[in-house]
């Protein structure tokens, strides 16, 4: 690790992800999960009656996605003798080192590129974390040292920054398509909070969907043809009221038509499209999640 103080703690944990086994006709109460660190519910999903069908499946711990967590946590002083500091906490899950390639490399590369920047793709997980942290510290000091010197030792909240970045795998789905033995997909969510001075910080959420066998990211073009994509804005607008806890909060919207975004996750409920502050609504609205049910999507899927 470059340029870090002694109070910075590096860690690497071996973790395992497995799918909770759930019988289709009755719910089990936590049975059969010995030695599983994380249990996630398998979901039922209908994409298209003709093309796609997601089914519940009994999957053992050994069949689930195994992952390792890489991270960094510390407080870095802007300058010796000052109380201004950068607090940074990063915890990112990556496929376990012995995961079959090229799936591991593709998933890891996409995670690093999305969370840290395209220039971090292609290097190992811990190296990506370390390099990103070193670059972030450098940016923090470059942008604030000159101002700090002009304040002659006086503290200022404007010179203290905060960064919290997490990435986690979530629910896994087994998708069966006509003429195939099935494709397993898994969601991955990156949550990024940054404070660089001002009235408030900025929180964003980015979701990725991966094919666990190939490691390729699933995009909307893999699900919808051109005509299907054209139908999405109207469906998104239809479900806007449900995205707000209070219907009157829809007044925060800054657009008259909801643009289609590649920031989405998949579940038994449907496809959930995620919009971060200022993308379609005022900051006060927070992160907006609009879910379109599968029954409304099945006719426009590929």
Rounded mean pLDDT, 2-18: 34
Q: Token pair for residue 102?
A: 């090229």
Do residues 142 and 59 both lie within one domain? yes
User: Is the per-residue pLDDT at 44 higher than 90?
Assistant: no
On whether residue 230 sits in a domain, the answer given is yes
On whether residue 2 sits in a domain, the answer given is no
**Residue 35 banded pLDDT, cuts 50, 70, 90:** very low
**Predicted local distance difference test score (pLDDT) of residue 199:** 83
Domain finish residue from 158, 192, 218: 218
User: Is the per-residue pLDDT at 19 higher than 80?
Assistant: no
**Predicted local distance difference test score (pLDDT) of residue 104:** 94
**Predicted local distance difference test score (pLDDT) of residue 195:** 95
Do residues 211 and 238 both lie within one domain? no
The enclosing domain of 233 has a CATH number of 3.90.640.20
Q: Which residue has the tokens 């049975």?
A: 31
On whether residue 175 sits in a domain, the answer given is yes
**Predicted local distance difference test score (pLDDT) of residue 38:** 30
Do residues 247 and 233 both lie within one domain? yes
Do residues 241 and 113 both lie within one domain? no
Do residues 128 and 236 both lie within one domain? no
How many domains does the chain fold into? 2
On whether residue 4 sits in a domain, the answer given is no
Domain finish residue from 192, 218, 244: 218
The enclosing domain of 19 has a CATH number of 3.30.565.40
Do residues 177 and 39 both lie within one domain? yes
Question: What does the alpha-carbon distance between residue 38 and residue 26 come to, in Å, rounded to a whole number?
Answer: 21
Do residues 285 and 196 both lie within one domain? no
CA distances, 227 to each of 58, 172, 201 (Å) = 36, 28, 39
What range defines the domain where residue 132 resides? 9-218
Determine the Cα angle at 166 with ends 164 and 172, to 5°: 160
On whether residue 104 sits in a domain, the answer given is yes
User: Is the per-residue pLDDT at 240 higher than 60?
Assistant: yes
On whether residue 3 sits in a domain, the answer given is no
**Predicted local distance difference test score (pLDDT) of residue 6:** 32
In tens, the pLDDT along 184-197 reads 899 999 999 999 98
CA distances, 82 to each of 85, 130, 154, 164, 205 (Å) = 8, 24, 8, 22, 33
Rounded mean pLDDT, 97-114: 93
Rounded mean pLDDT, 47-60: 32
* Nearest to 59, CA basis, from 16, 25, 5, 20: 20
Do residues 201 and 243 both lie within one domain? no
* CA 97 centroid distance within chain: 20
On whether residue 146 sits in a domain, the answer given is yes
**Residue 265 banded pLDDT, cuts 50, 70, 90:** very high
Do residues 197 and 226 both lie within one domain? no
In tens, the pLDDT along 123-160 reads 999 999 999 999 999 999 999 988 877 776 555 667 89
On whether residue 16 sits in a domain, the answer given is yes
**Predicted local distance difference test score (pLDDT) of residue 285:** 87
Do residues 101 and 197 both lie within one domain? yes
**Predicted local distance difference test score (pLDDT) of residue 252:** 86
End-to-end CA distance of the chain: 47
Mean pLDDT of the chain: 77
CA distances, 299 to each of 38, 50, 121 (Å) = 35, 9, 37
Rounded mean pLDDT, 284-301: 91
Rounded mean pLDDT, 221-243: 92
**Predicted local distance difference test score (pLDDT) of residue 284:** 84
Q: Model-level pTM greater than 0.85?
A: no
In tens, the pLDDT along 159-192 reads 899 999 999 998 787 765 444 456 889 999 999 9
Rounded mean pLDDT, 200-219: 94
**Predicted local distance difference test score (pLDDT) of residue 176:** 54
**Predicted local distance difference test score (pLDDT) of residue 277:** 93
Do residues 208 and 119 both lie within one domain? yes
Do residues 82 and 184 both lie within one domain? yes
* CA 232 centroid distance within chain: 22
Domain finish residue from 218, 239, 261: 218
């Amino acid at each position: 690790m470059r340029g870090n103080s002694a109070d910075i703690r590096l860690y690497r944990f071996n973790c395992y992800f497995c799918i909770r086994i759930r019988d289709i006709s009755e719910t089990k109460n936590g049975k059969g999960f010995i030695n599983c660190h994380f249990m996630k519910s398998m979901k039922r999903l209908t994409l298209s009656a003709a093309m796609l069908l997601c089914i519940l499946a009994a999957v053992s711990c050994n069949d689930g996605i195994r992952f390792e967590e890489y991270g960094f946590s510390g407080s870095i002083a802007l300058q010796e003798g000052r109380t201004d500091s950068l607090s940074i906490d990063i915890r990112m899950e990556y496929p376990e080192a012995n995961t079959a390639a090229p799936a591991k490399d593709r998933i890891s590369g996409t995670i690093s590129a999305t969370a840290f920047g395209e220039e971090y793709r292609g290097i190992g997980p811990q190296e990506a974390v370390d390099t990103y942290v070193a670059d972030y510290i450098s940016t923090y000091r470059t942008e604030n040292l000159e101002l700090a010197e002009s304040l002659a030792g006086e503290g200022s909240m404007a010179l203290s920054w905060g960064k919290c970045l997490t990435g986690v795998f979530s629910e896994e789905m087994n998708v069966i398509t006509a003429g195939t033995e099935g494709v397993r997909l898994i969601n991955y969510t990156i949550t990024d909070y940054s404070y660089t001075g001002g009235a408030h910080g900025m929180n964003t959420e980015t979701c990725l969907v991966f094919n666990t066998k190939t490691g390729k990211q699933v995009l909307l073009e893999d699900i919808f043809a051109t005509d299907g994509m054209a139908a999405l804005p109207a469906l998104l607008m239809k479900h806007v009221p449900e995205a707000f806890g209070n219907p009157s909060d829809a007044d925060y919207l800054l657009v008259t038509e909801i643009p289609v975004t590649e920031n989405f996750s998949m579940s038994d409920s449907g496809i959930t499209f995620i919009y971060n502050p200022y993308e379609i609504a005022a900051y006060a609205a927070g992160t907006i999640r609009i879910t379109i049910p599968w029954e409304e999507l099945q006719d426009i899927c590929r």
